[in-house]
Amino acid sequence: DGAIDVHALHAKWQRLWEERGTFLAGGDKDTRPRKYVLAMFPYPSGDLHMGHAENYLYSDIVARFWRHRGYNVLHPIGWDSFGLPAENAAIQRGADPREWTYANIAQQRESLKAYGVSFDWSRVLHTSDDDYYRWNQWLFQQLHERGLAYRKESPVNWCPNDQTVLANEQVVDSACERCGATVEKKKLTQWYFKITEYADRLLDDLNQLEGFWPQKVLQMQRNWIGRSVGADIDFRIEGRDEPVTVFSTRPDTLHGATFMVVAPDSDLAVELVAGASPEARTRFQDYLLQTQQQTEIERQSADRPKTGVFLERFAINPINGERLPIWAADYVLADYGHGAVMAVPAHDQRDLDFARAFDLPVRVVVDTTAPITGAIPVIELDEDGVPIDPQLSEIDPRVTGEALTGEGRMINSGSLDGLSKRNAITRVIEQLEAAGTGRRAKQYRLRDWLISRQRFWGTPIPMVHTQDGDIVPVPADELPVRLPDAAGLDLKPKGKSPLGAATGWVETTDPRTGEPALRDPDTMDTFVDSSWYYLRFLSPGNDGKAFDPRDADRWAPVDAYIGGVEHAILHLLYARFITKVLFDMGLVEFTEPFSSLINQGMVILDGAKMSKSKGNLVLFKEELERHGADALRVALAFAGPVEDDKDWKDVSTTGAQKFLARALRLAQEVTSDKDVVWAEGDVSLRRVTHRLLADAPVLVEQTKFNVVVARLMELVNAIRKAVDGAAGPADPAVREAVEATAMILDLFAPHTAEEMWEILGYEPSIGHVVWRNADPALLVEESVTAVVQIDGKVRATLEVPAKIDTDALETMARGDERVLRALGDRQIVRAIVRAPKVVSFSTK
Ligand code: ANZ
């Protein structure tokens, strides 16, 4: 009849879960093993969207699954409620950021409840609550005490539109991640967290996550940290006391250095050119201005013509005493390595392009045509030192314009001649070390984490600037430093924190002397908030500690972390870093916060990303109201593999609705009692049930949720056939199959599953019912007898698996001894195969 009141059904079970606290994590006395399942918490910027629907569906499937496996599961939720969206909305609409934020939270919370997610609602946290952010302030002071939070003046990424500093990670293709404005450079004194001190550990520990995190994310993290191994080499500079150090990944090519290049926007370039002629100084000034207008990406782009100016200064190659002209060129970056390079044009493409543009010498020092093992070839050289070897002249970089970057044998390199790259690197470093002019070195692309923001809606930095210029922590017993009321403050971005203008707030006293002093007016990057929130869920409401180490011991690290791949770098890297700091402080006993990571794909529409601006949004709230949570959840789970993007036009909520109605109707049709003897049930239906009981746990652990739904649909079809066929509704196998359906369906459609469970005569909740194990006897494949005919006569019978396919059956028949004997020397000209029962050969 299909007349199910879907909304009443959902409301009924949600009320019961709420009243009974069905999904609260078990306390300390709960003896079940524990699992911590966490979905990335939402920003409260407006309504939830389909991406959230997917995210919280997947975490719920995992959480429910582990409960059905007998675990005590923690599945908490909270809100990442500080940050720019609230502040911008406040500026645009004149609303109070606090009111705006908490109104959105209330709305999102309602949607998540209506979605039937099995969250532990007793642990909700909002990062903008002062009992949360006081622990950000505590964390900041802990890092400060350990020298891991410090201030420095540096060129920062500046968004002219948002009027705020951005972390490197928030600059995408030279544009502000949020608003798309072109990012500029500006000098400011800012707070940093010293994440670079953890670079090696952050890189090396990724190996532990191999196989548990998506490969793509591991690679993105590795690239972001970007470790290069090589040497620092000191070059004496004529007319300067201090040498200039360069970082090189190819110290083996030191004999091939023919000039030096420094970044135009480095202090070094400015200093060196000060000793040059007035013309050179003018040329340099113009070039510097031009450089400052380029983005980092433009500067590094390979196909741009090389530009630069000669600084009229010379460096001395420490290995051979050669005099190298020093140039300034924008392809060298001021904030990588030492902002200066030894240029080896024969073996580095950028250096070669530059040498060809300015007619500088090119000297080959690696013979890339020579075999890497075996005898050392003897090669004649021309006056530039380029081998006259006919083969090598064909690949002469001066002619081809292609740098020789491959492996080979050292030439032109004094005592290094004949060595391989690896041996030459080792040898040259030994030589430099002996002479005190070089050493082994590593460089990282990773930069320290800039955490100051000149914005209102964030955690105030808990430091005081005293009259004598010191910066001291706010005493621990005065935390939290609460945000003042936004009323009366101008929140429009101006490059200075609006908090600086909150007179009554910013004015304070020096905690040491009681003299007047000023609070630090900046707030923290919201990535600080999300770097440790997973720990706060373990000790909610603890007002003496950020978290209790005993709770961390019990629950953490997170067993399954679920969220979008857009957080592959920043959030995950920061959370990993803070976890390692907490480990070093002795507060946690693990070094990685998230033992496994699941990234979901996006929900798109007609192949395009959904967005408000494109007007192609499918609204979560509306879909939820239209179809009910269960149909939406089943449709999304069925739409495709977790990590794939799903096109909304392929998501069939009506199909899902029909499937759920069929499942529910079957529960109503079961006429047997709970105490039936299953073994007496219909064997073929039992086989289907037990196959799924065996496969479902494996499939869920492999996150193949869509396959589980497909298999459930098959089971429901099989039950329907059994009920309408010979078995009938009273057959014990029917009850067994419907019960199994309800248990597994609970991952996807928990309201329907609860209803089925009740109809079947059980007490709620199905949510904690441990899944039955499959009976191995029922997993053995069924076999049938196939007959083989030759020209119409039965010649053999074969015992074959019931599910054998046509090809396999034909192959078996052709190879059977009785068939071969009966064939004699006759040839098979035609085979008709009807798996699994008949094979019929015709001969000539
Ligand atoms: C000499 C050389 C010879 C180099 C050769 C490469 C090949 P990664 O792998 O990215 O770490 N370099 C060093 N500092 C730089 C800077 N601030 N801006 C631009 N380039 C810089 O690259 C390290 C290599 O990039 C270094 O090794 C240096 O060039 C250059 F056949 O030194 B090499």
Task: Tell me the three state secondary structure of residue 329.
Answer: coil
Separation of CA 247 and ligand 1 centre (Å): 7
Separation of CA 340 and ligand 1 centre (Å): 9
Give span(s): CATH 3.90.740.10, the chain: 227-444
Name the least confident of 473-477, 535-539, 750-754, 797-801. Answer: 797-801
ipTM rounded to 2 decimals: 0.98
Binding-site residue positions:
612
Range ranked top by mean pLDDT from 83-97, 252-266, 616-630, 811-825: 252-266
Separation of CA 490 and ligand 1 centre (Å): 47
Which of 192, 128, 205, 135 minimizes the C-alpha distance to 535? Answer: 135
Nearest CA to ligand 1 atom 28: 248
Nearest CA to ligand 1 atom 8: 228
Separation of CA 233 and ligand 1 centre (Å): 12
> Is the CB of 437 inside a 6 Å radius of any atom of ligand 1?
no
CATH of 227-444, one of 3.40.225.10, 3.90.740.10, 3.10.20.440, 3.30.9.10: 3.90.740.10
Per-residue pLDDT tens over the stretch 584-618? 999 999 999 999 999 999 999 888 888 777 777 88
> Is the CB of 336 inside a 6 Å radius of any atom of ligand 1?
yes
Separation of CA 370 and ligand 1 centre (Å): 24
Task: Name the amino acid, one letter, at 312.
Answer: E
> Is the CB of 199 inside a 6 Å radius of any atom of ligand 1?
no
Residue 377 has pLDDT above 70, yes or no: no
Q: CB-based burial of residue 552 (10 Å sphere; 0-12 exposed, 13-18 middle, 19+ buried)?
A: buried
Tokens 């002062």 -> residue: 130
Atom of ligand 1 minimally distant from the CA of 335: 17
Atom of ligand 1 minimally distant from the CA of 339: 17
Separation of CA 292 and ligand 1 centre (Å): 21
- Partners of residue 325 on adjacent β-strands: 314
Residue 247 has pLDDT above 90, yes or no: yes
Average pLDDT over all residues of the chain: 93
Handedness of CA 798, 799, 802, 806 (dihedral sign): negative
DSSP one-letter string for 196-263:
GGGHHHHHHTHHHHBTTB-HHHHHHHHHHH-EEEEEEEEEEETT-SS-EEEEES-GGGGGG--EEEE-
Per-residue pLDDT tens over the stretch 301-311? 888 899 999 99
- Identify which of 234, 249, 267 to mutate to test ligand 1's pocket (most ligand atoms within 8 A of the CB): 249
Give span(s): CATH 3.10.20.590, the chain: 783-843
Separation of CA 761 and ligand 1 centre (Å): 72
> Is the CB of 348 inside a 6 Å radius of any atom of ligand 1?
yes
> Is the CB of 342 inside a 6 Å radius of any atom of ligand 1?
yes
- Give the C-alpha separation, 726 to 418, whole Å: 85
Mean pLDDT within 477-495:
89
> Is the CB of 141 inside a 6 Å radius of any atom of ligand 1?
no
- Give the C-alpha separation, 776 to 786, whole Å: 25
> Is the CB of 266 inside a 6 Å radius of any atom of ligand 1?
no
Residue 255 has pLDDT above 50, yes or no: yes
Separation of CA 46 and ligand 1 centre (Å): 46
DSSP one-letter string for 437-475:
SEEEEEEES---EE-EE--SSSPBP-EEE-TTS-EEEPP
> Is the CB of 191 inside a 6 Å radius of any atom of ligand 1?
no
Binding-site residue positions for ATP:
612
Separation of CA 250 and ligand 1 centre (Å): 8
Task: Name the amino acid, one letter, at 216.
Answer: K
Separation of CA 263 and ligand 1 centre (Å): 12
> Is the CB of 352 inside a 6 Å radius of any atom of ligand 1?
no
Separation of CA 320 and ligand 1 centre (Å): 20
Mean pLDDT within 679-688:
95
- Please tell me whether the overall predicted TM-score, pTM, comes out greater than 0.90 for this model: no
Confidence of residue 388 (pLDDT cuts 50, 70, 90): low
Nearest CA to ligand 1 atom 11: 228
Q: What pLDDT does 380 receive? A: 67
- Identify which of 248, 258, 267, 351 to mutate to test ligand 1's pocket (most ligand atoms within 8 A of the CB): 248
Mean pLDDT within 716-729:
97
Separation of CA 342 and ligand 1 centre (Å): 8
Atom of ligand 1 minimally distant from the CA of 338: 17
Q: What pLDDT does 712 receive? A: 98
- The b-or-e profile of 791-827 (16+ CB within 10 A means b, else e) is eeeebbebebeeebeeeebbebbeebeebeebbeeee
Separation of CA 374 and ligand 1 centre (Å): 30
Separation of CA 257 and ligand 1 centre (Å): 12
- Give the C-alpha separation, 128 to 136, whole Å: 10
Nearest CA to ligand 1 atom 22: 249
> Is the CB of 296 inside a 6 Å radius of any atom of ligand 1?
no
> Is the CB of 317 inside a 6 Å radius of any atom of ligand 1?
no
289: its two tokens = 């201005």
- Give the C-alpha separation, 651 to 443, whole Å: 48
Nearest CA to ligand 1 atom 26: 248
- Identify which of 254, 299, 327, 336 to mutate to test ligand 1's pocket (most ligand atoms within 8 A of the CB): 336
Residue 295 or residue 522, greater confidence: 522
Q: What pLDDT does 1 receive? A: 44
Nearest CA to ligand 1 atom 14: 337
- Give the C-alpha separation, 460 to 191, whole Å: 12
> Is the CB of 115 inside a 6 Å radius of any atom of ligand 1?
no
459: its two tokens = 């955690």
Nearest CA to ligand 1 atom 20: 332
Query: CATH class for domain 652-778?
Result: mainly alpha
Residue 126 has pLDDT above 80, yes or no: yes
Residue 376 has pLDDT above 60, yes or no: no
Q: What pLDDT does 392 receive? A: 62
Q: What pLDDT does 13 receive? A: 98
Separation of CA 402 and ligand 1 centre (Å): 17
- What contacts 640, CB < 8 A, 6 or more positions away? 601, 646, 650, 706
Residue 372 has pLDDT above 80, yes or no: no
> Is the CB of 498 inside a 6 Å radius of any atom of ligand 1?
no
Mean pLDDT within 226-231:
96
> Is the CB of 247 inside a 6 Å radius of any atom of ligand 1?
yes
Fold for 783-843, please state it: Ubiquitin-like (UB roll) (3.10.20)
327: its two tokens = 């140039």
Residue 313 has pLDDT above 50, yes or no: yes
Atom of ligand 1 minimally distant from the CA of 331: 19
Cα end-to-end distance, the chain, whole Å:
59
Residue 487 or residue 838, greater confidence: 838
Separation of CA 248 and ligand 1 centre (Å): 5
Contact 305, 198 (CB under 8 A): no
> Is the CB of 347 inside a 6 Å radius of any atom of ligand 1?
yes
Residue 86 or residue 628, greater confidence: 628
> Is the CB of 443 inside a 6 Å radius of any atom of ligand 1?
yes
Report DSSP state, residue 276: S
Separation of CA 289 and ligand 1 centre (Å): 24
Per-residue pLDDT tens over the stretch 46-80? 889 999 999 999 999 999 999 999 999 999 999 99
Separation of CA 101 and ligand 1 centre (Å): 47
- The b-or-e profile of 583-599 (16+ CB within 10 A means b, else e) is beeebbeebbbbbbbbb
CATH of 21-127+530-609, one of 3.20.20.70, 3.30.499.10, 3.40.190.80, 3.40.50.620: 3.40.50.620
> Is the CB of 646 inside a 6 Å radius of any atom of ligand 1?
no
Mean pLDDT within 308-332:
97
Per-residue pLDDT tens over the stretch 176-185? 988 899 888 8
Atom of ligand 1 minimally distant from the CA of 334: 17
Cβ count within 10 A of residue 235? 21
> Is the CB of 245 inside a 6 Å radius of any atom of ligand 1?
no
- Give the C-alpha separation, 373 to 366, whole Å: 14
Confidence of residue 583 (pLDDT cuts 50, 70, 90): very high
DSSP one-letter string for 34-94:
EEEEEEPPPP-SSS-BHHHHHHHHHHHHHHHHHHHTT-EEE---EE---SHHHHHHHHHH-
Residue 383 has pLDDT above 70, yes or no: no
Contact 628, 696 (CB under 8 A): no
Residue 574 or residue 844, greater confidence: 574
Mean pLDDT within 615-626:
88
Task: Tell me the three state secondary structure of residue 366.
Answer: strand
Nearest CA to ligand 1 atom 25: 248
Residue 3 has pLDDT above 70, yes or no: no
Residue 700 or residue 1, greater confidence: 700
Nearest CA to ligand 1 atom 27: 248
Contact 408, 366 (CB under 8 A): yes
> Is the CB of 349 inside a 6 Å radius of any atom of ligand 1?
no
- Give the C-alpha separation, 415 to 320, whole Å: 11
**What is the percent of the chain with per-residue pLDDT over 70, rounded to a whole number?**
97
Confidence of residue 260 (pLDDT cuts 50, 70, 90): very high
Residue 384 has pLDDT above 80, yes or no: no
- Identify which of 223, 268, 291, 348 to mutate to test ligand 1's pocket (most ligand atoms within 8 A of the CB): 348
